[in-house]
Amino acid sequence: MDHVASWLFLAVSCWGAWFTWNAFRPSRRWHLLAVSFFAAWFTGELALWHLAWQAVGASAFVAAGALRHWAGWAGLAITFVSWVGLVRLFLEARASASVIDATLSADLGLEDAPLERRVPLRQLVAPLYLRDRRVERIRNLAYGPAGRRNRLDVYRPAGGTDRPAPVLLQVHGGAWVVGSKEQQGLPLMLEMAAAGWVCVAANYRLSPRARWPDHLVDLKRALAWIRGHIAELGGDPSRVHVTGGSAGGHLAAMLALTAGEPRFQPGFEDVDTRVASCVPFYGVYDLTTLFDAVQAGPRVRRLGVRFQRMFMGTTLAEAREPFRDASPITWVRPDAPPFFVIHGEADNLVPVAQARAFVAALRAVSTSPVCYAEIPGASHAFDVFHSVRTANAVHGVRLFLEHVDGRARPRGGADALHKVPDGG
């Protein structure tokens, strides 16, 4: 029986060590991509939780006599190495504060706003608890004609606001084919709403039922709804900022860079769709290079072609220009609003090279601040639930948004923002 416990301990220790190792080196191979991503995501952001369950497991195996055989000692050694890695992951997550602080100091001149702070214990203990009694949520308001996909939620301070508050529009990700307004951006929206902002999370039509640019058109409709209705809920329609992650980061950047583009605003071309700033997380900025960034065989390349057709209605091989036209990097412009681009260094779904190239292109032409934080050790979607890294990123974004909003001048009141299209 002791031998069984020893070998089981060795097997479990190897399994736990793989989680730790994978968090440092997530795979970019297509057949391992999904498994590697989810394992790295939860391990990197919940390193202390992994250390805790490994410690409980090791204690149980030791109590069962696993150390009476060499396999048990091997398992214990592997477990100790895994713990060292988990501690390093946790320290790396804490270091994100200094990275974001340095970014805001260098790119925005915020010398007096250090990010080092203690993460609330409740966020470490209950990382998936995404509620805040200080915040009121108003659900499923219609903003357009496309049924439940044209619905949005509003988060605002409980009891309302004393004066018109700045607005943050959150765009969910999901590769343009899945996702919902209830699933992403919650730590940031709860933080901003508790600080007095009004936040809006919008659904939009998804592929394959929708084809580009339907996704962007819907979000411009949501912005038009904000212009016409957010004042009734305590928001200032002249102070709208936008954020989003992954596909939502792509759409947020497109929203910020295509203000007033008539073909993306069919039927409501006269609505002011400018935003005061944009904060894209781990976004896609160049669709022409996205599908070349992973190691793929013929079968996966065929799947990629199917996805391109499902999303864009065509493929790169058939027509490259639509993919360029749908890429934020194509739309960089001198009058772009301030940007704070955030990307994880360990992202194996959207390569960090996407963010680096976009930031370089934007900085080359934009007259507004362009901040860029490359978060060490961060995976894709690292900010979806509470973690040390999430808390640091959220706090940094709050500093950025409050600084930009404080310096921005409203472009006129609600009466100067043109008519809103039917459907909202």
Residues annotated as part of the active site: 246, 347, 380
Do residues 45 and 379 touch, judged by C-beta distance below 8 A? Answer: yes
Amino acid at 360: A
Do residues 246 and 176 touch, judged by C-beta distance below 8 A? Answer: no
Residues 6+ apart with CB under 8 A from 38: none
Both structure tokens of 357: 């190239």
Residues 6+ apart with CB under 8 A from 77: none
CA-to-CA distance for 131 and 123, rounded, in angstroms? 11
For the chain, count helices (H), then strands (E).
Answer: 14, 8
CA-to-CA distance for 204 and 217, rounded, in angstroms? 9
Query: Maximum Cα–Cα distance for the chain, whole Å?
Result: 79
DSSP β-bridge partners for residue 199: 155, 168
Residues 6+ apart with CB under 8 A from 264: 213, 216, 217, 220, 254, 258
Nearest CA to 414 out of 159, 179, 208, 227 is that of 227
CA-to-CA distance for 424 and 422, rounded, in angstroms? 6
CA-to-CA distance for 223 and 106, rounded, in angstroms? 31
DSSP β-bridge partners for residue 243: 170, 279
